């Protein structure tokens, strides 16, 4: 390992065998954390070529269990987001896709820090569990076309160990390391068609469009080399997605979207990601037609019905889809009023995520308990006009004191200007 670290430090290529040796022995514990941390830093500075990134991804994928989805008939789709604020896309997109007959077999994670996780959001349905066996997962996908499970204990253990190290050694923002981390998990989860939502902007890892494009094209290249159909869509994360941030609040917004409500860019994102899934699944070759097919699942209620089936199949209360008062509800709701007037220029997405986290809606450590009812609902988005004293958003909290503190924090997330500016394009690029 010392020789490999020195080779990468000096900008040399690592062979397939060297990469396998490194991942196998790090996973088993024979290579210590300090050597792997040093290697991650060498990779961050020196980079890796396509062949090395693919070898690293495959070695990581094979470091633990690999899901065998061959028992599922038809095309299997999967979706991944690089992590955002207010991102409830999976809750809307998966039922729409499944309603059209493409199978959605999804492994999801929990939230950490200022970003939310689909598993926590789904647990807002009383009784819902994502801890289902591989047999039940496969049987649910075959029966109703959709299942969402938590990552099993031994799926890509190399990534679990490496990610924890990268988190504390300043080596998260490295394209080869992010690509191998994401794609090893996607490959181990077994889907044929993969769409990736690469967030770009203040609330994400990739702050600039150039960096997001670099990441997106590497993700697509590695996925294709591994034999998958992959599309990466680069989307804006300079303000939260939609209006709600917080677990049950986001579920309510997702249900509203499936009922046809206007929810900012949320539906546009679902139609964009969904259209590439339908094209790669062979349902159509035209983007506009794919978008119409997806829209129809909302208009005819079939996507909402699919959500009901998903909730029921995984032990949740299906009546909560039609009556959202059955979902967790915070006791204190406090409106946050603007202290000036103007147009909303920017909403600090990461800080809005932190407001929700401070209210108890997010984890500070991996094992923190969270409150599913709390969070914020924005009333104003970028480009909107605000009068002095008008409501910017509403804080949902467990008590008055927490609500007052969060209200001040949320007000500070808003930046107003006198003149209405140009709104950034939401979908910045598509890489296929
Ligand atoms: N998401 C991941 O799963 N891994 C990374 O390295 C970054 C984002």
Ligand 1 centroid, distance to 216 Cα (angstroms):
13
Region of poorest pLDDT, from 4-18, 109-123, 281-295 = 109-123
Selection from 412, 335, 324 nearest residue 372 by Cα? 324
Contact 281, 145 (CB under 8 A): no
Span 144-155, pLDDT tens digits: 999 999 877 688
What is the chain's mean pLDDT, rounded?
Answer: 94
User: Rounded to whole angstroms, how far apart are CA atoms 161 and 39?
Assistant: 14
The pair of structure tokens assigned to 82 is 């690089």
Fold assignment, 329-417: Aldehyde Oxidoreductase; domain 3 (3.90.1170)
> What is the 8-class DSSP label of residue 65?
B
Q: At what angle do helices 266-280 and 247-258 cross, to 10 degrees?
A: 70
Ligand 1 centroid, distance to 272 Cα (angstroms):
22
Contact 29, 151 (CB under 8 A): no
Report the pLDDT value the prediction gives residue 92, as an integer from 0 to 100.
98
Q: What percentage of the chain reaches a pLDDT higher than 70? A: 99
Query: How many angstroms from the chain centroid is the CA of residue 7?
Result: 35
pLDDT, average across residues 321-325: 97
CA distances from 367 to 108, 111, 125, 148, 245 (A): 17, 11, 20, 21, 21
**pLDDT confidence of 340, banded at 50, 70, 90?**
very high
Ligand 1 centroid, distance to 138 Cα (angstroms):
25
Atom from ligand 1 closest to the CA of residue 185: 3
Span 240-277, pLDDT tens digits: 999 999 999 999 999 999 999 989 899 999 999 999 99
CA distances from 181 to 161, 162, 207, 271 (A): 11, 9, 19, 26
Domain ranges of the chain: 2-47, 76-324, 329-417
CA-nearest residue, atom 6 of ligand 1: 178
Atom from ligand 1 closest to the CA of residue 182: 3
Fold assignment, 2-47: 1.20.970
Q: Is 80 exceeded by the pLDDT of residue 111? A: no
CA-nearest residue, atom 7 of ligand 1: 178
Record the pTM.
Answer: 0.93
CA-nearest residue, atom 3 of ligand 1: 182
pLDDT, average across residues 376-400: 97
> To test ligand 1's pocket by mutation, which of 167, 172, 197 has the most ligand atoms within 8 angstroms of CB?
172
Partners of residue 104 on adjacent β-strands: 77, 146
- Greatest Cα pair distance, the chain, in angstroms, is 64
Pocket of ligand 1 (CB under 6 A): 82-83, 177-178, 181-182
Region of poorest pLDDT, from 63-67, 228-232, 280-284, 291-295 = 63-67
The pair of structure tokens assigned to 201 is 């902007």
Report the pLDDT value the prediction gives residue 207, as an integer from 0 to 100.
85
- What CATH number should be reported for the domain whose range is 76-324? 3.40.1030.10
Active-site residues: which are they?
80, 159, 166, 181, 185
Phi, psi of 348 (to 5 degrees): -70, 100
């Amino acid at each position: 390992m010392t020789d490999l670290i020195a080779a990468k430090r000096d900008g040399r290529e690592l062979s397939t065998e060297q990469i396998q040796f490194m991942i196998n022995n790090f996973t088993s514990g024979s290579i210590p954390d300090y050597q792997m941390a040093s290697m991650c830093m060498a990779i961050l500075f020196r980079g890796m070529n396509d062949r090395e990134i693919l070898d690293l991804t495959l070695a990581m994928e094979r470091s633990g269990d690999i899901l065998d989805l061959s028992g599922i008939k038809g095309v299997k789709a999967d979706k991944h987001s690089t992590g955002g604020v207010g991102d409830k896309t999976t809750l809307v997109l998966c039922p729409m896709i499944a309603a059209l007959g493409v199978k959605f077999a999804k492994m999801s994670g929990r939230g950490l820090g200022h970003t939310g996780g689909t598993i926590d959001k789904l647990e807002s349905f009383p009784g819902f569990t994502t801890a289902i066996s591989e047999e039940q997962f496969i049987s649910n996908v075959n029966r109703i076309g959709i299942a969402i499970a938590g990552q099993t204990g031994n799926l890509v253990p190399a990534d679990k160990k490496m990610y924890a190290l990268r988190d504390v050694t300043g080596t998260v923002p490295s394209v080869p390391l992010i690509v191998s981390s994401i794609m090893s998990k996607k490959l181990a989860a077994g889907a044929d068609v993969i769409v990736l939502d690469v967030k770009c902007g203040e609330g994400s890892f990739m702050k600039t469009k150039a960096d997001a494009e670099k990441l997106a094209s590497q993700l697509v290249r590695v996925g294709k080399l591994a034999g998958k159909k992959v599309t990466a869509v680069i989307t804006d994360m300079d303000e939260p997605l939609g209006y709600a941030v917080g677990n049950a609040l986001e579920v309510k917004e997702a249900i509203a979207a499936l009922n046809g409500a206007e929810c900012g860019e949320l539906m546009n994102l679902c139609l964009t990601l969904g259209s590439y899934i339908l094209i790669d699944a062979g349902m159509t070759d035209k983007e506009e037609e794919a978008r119409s097919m997806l829209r129809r699942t909302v208009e005819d209620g079939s996507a909402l019905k699919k959500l009901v089936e998903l909730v029921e199949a995984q032990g949740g209360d299906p009546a909560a889809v039609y009556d959202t008062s059955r979902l967790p509800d915070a006791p204190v709701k406090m409106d946050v009023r603007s202290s000036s007037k103007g147009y909303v220029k920017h909403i600090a997405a990461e800080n809005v995520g932190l407001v929700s986290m401070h209210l108890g809606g997010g984890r500070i450590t991996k094992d923190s308990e969270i409150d599913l009812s709390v969070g914020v609902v924005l009333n104003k988005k970028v480009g909107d006009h605000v009068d002095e004293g008008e409501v910017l958003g509403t804080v949902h909290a467990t008590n008055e004191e927490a609500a007052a503190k969060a209200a001040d924090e949320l007000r500070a997330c808003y930046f107003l200007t006198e003149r209405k500016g140009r709104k950034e394009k939401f979908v910045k690029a598509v890489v296929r």
